[in-house]
């Protein structure tokens, strides 16, 4: 994990995000996962500064070995301590990989990754609980990381259970050979203590699971994900289109103040792209008063 405690005046960026999310969910924590649209990008709040943080962009580009990435998920939410351990509760999750509901495909080979996901912690899990458990891949020969990755609920014809106990009981009763393999995930799991501002960067083909928040506590996070642009056709966007809430100022406000590098993350071609003509660049500027179009004008391709 790494940190993202960049200061944008007082209070810090992370503190401002934590305050916003905690207040928003003060009376109603998320029932399962996500904010039901309340904190999906663009929000018009400091959450957008985390989503488009250039430190994160640079880290993802390094991990995917490309300068060309797109944002595929941005949502903040709050998980509360509770006693719900029913079959599909996310309170105490089963080990899983995230690719199952982010693409129709199987993940690419391990050494050619296409995605990065992140959890930005807005709470200290040493206090709240709810830290994400992970099972690290140890080598190319690691028996827990042999393709195809189907030994989990909801994939490969197996029934879906979100709850850890329900899922593992199902495998023990119906597929004992899979249950034996999955027990090794729990034997090797690590639950780091995440501090406010820490970021867990992982992949869609990493074994992980959510753990319970302590009774009487809440744990807020921002979930983010990116895809290499070359693989974006089949690595789908979790959120509705970033432009869905245009006309109301949130998206326009963000787009006007961010850099071309950040705009490229959410679907605006970079300066020098073949789509840009002088006419189109000037139309772009007219649509968003105050947006600096000069970087786009400077790199218009001429024939």
Query: What are the tens digits of pLDDT across the range 148-206?
Result: 999 999 999 999 999 999 999 999 999 999 999 999 999 999 999 999 999 999 999 99
Under a CB-based contact definition with an 8 Å cutoff, are residues 296 and 260 in contact?
yes
In terms of C-beta density within 10 A (0-12 exposed, 13-18 middle, 19 or more buried), how is residue 138 classed?
exposed
Query: Tens digit of pLDDT for each residue in 112-137?
Result: 999 999 999 999 999 999 999 999 99
pLDDT at 10: 36
pLDDT at 7: 39
Query: Tens digit of pLDDT for each residue in 247-274?
Result: 999 999 999 999 999 999 999 999 999 9
Share of the chain above pLDDT 70, in %: 95
Query: Tens digit of pLDDT for each residue in 210-243?
Result: 999 999 999 999 999 999 999 999 999 999 989 9
Higher-scoring residue by pLDDT: 302, 124: 124
Strands 69-80 and 133-135: unpaired
How far the first Cα of the chain sits from its last, in Å, is 47
Q: Which two tokens stand for residue 249?
A: 């100022």
Please tell me the distance from the alpha carbon of residue 142 to that of residue 161, in angstroms, as a whole number: 25
Q: Which two tokens stand for residue 23?
A: 């207040």
pLDDT category, 84, cuts 50, 70, 90?
confident
Please tell me the distance from the alpha carbon of residue 236 to that of residue 226, in angstroms, as a whole number: 10
pLDDT category, 4, cuts 50, 70, 90?
low
Secondary element (H or E) of residue 177: helix 176-188
pLDDT category, 11, cuts 50, 70, 90?
low
Residues 77, 78, 84: CA angle, nearest 5 degrees: 125
Please tell me the distance from the alpha carbon of residue 21 to that of residue 223, in angstroms, as a whole number: 13
Please tell me the distance from the alpha carbon of residue 112 to that of residue 238, in angstroms, as a whole number: 22
């Amino acid at each position: 994990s790494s940190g993202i405690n960049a200061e944008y005046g007082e209070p810090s960026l992370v503190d401002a995000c934590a305050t916003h999310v905690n207040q928003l969910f003060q009376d109603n924590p998320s029932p399962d996962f996500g904010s039901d649209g309340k904190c999906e990008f663009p929000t018009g709040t400091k959450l957008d500064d985390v989503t488009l943080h250039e430190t994160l962009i640079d880290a993802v580009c390094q991990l995917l070995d490309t300068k060309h990435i797109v944002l595929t998920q941005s949502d903040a939410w709050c998980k509360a301590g509770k006693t719900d351990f029913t079959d599909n509760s996310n309170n105490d999750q089963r080990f899983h990989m995230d690719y199952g509901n982010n693409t129709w495909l199987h993940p690419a080979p391990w050494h050619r990754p296409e995605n990065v996901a992140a959890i930005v912690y807005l709470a200290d899990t040493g206090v709240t609980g709810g830290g994400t458990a992970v099972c690290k891949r140890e080598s190319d020969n690691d028996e827990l990381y042999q393709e195809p990755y189907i030994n989990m609920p909801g994939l490969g014809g197996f029934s879906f259970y979100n709850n850890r106990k329900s899922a593992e009981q199902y495998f023990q009763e119906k597929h004992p050979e899979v249950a034996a393999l999955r027990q090794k995930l729990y034997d090797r799991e690590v639950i780091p203590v995440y501090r406010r501002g820490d970021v867990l960067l992982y992949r869609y083909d990493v074994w992980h699971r959510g753990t319970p928040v302590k009774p009487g506590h809440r744990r807020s996070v921002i979930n983010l994900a990116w895809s290499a642009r070359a693989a974006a056709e089949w690595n789908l966007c979790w959120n509705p289109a970033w432009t869905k809430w245009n006309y109301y100022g949130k998206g326009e406000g963000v787009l006007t103040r961010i850099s071309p590098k950040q705009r490229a993350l959410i679907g605006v071609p970079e300066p020098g792209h073949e789509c840009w003509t002088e006419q189109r660049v000037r139309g772009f500027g007219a649509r968003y008063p105050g947006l600096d179009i000069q970087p786009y004008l400077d790199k218009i391709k001429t024939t």
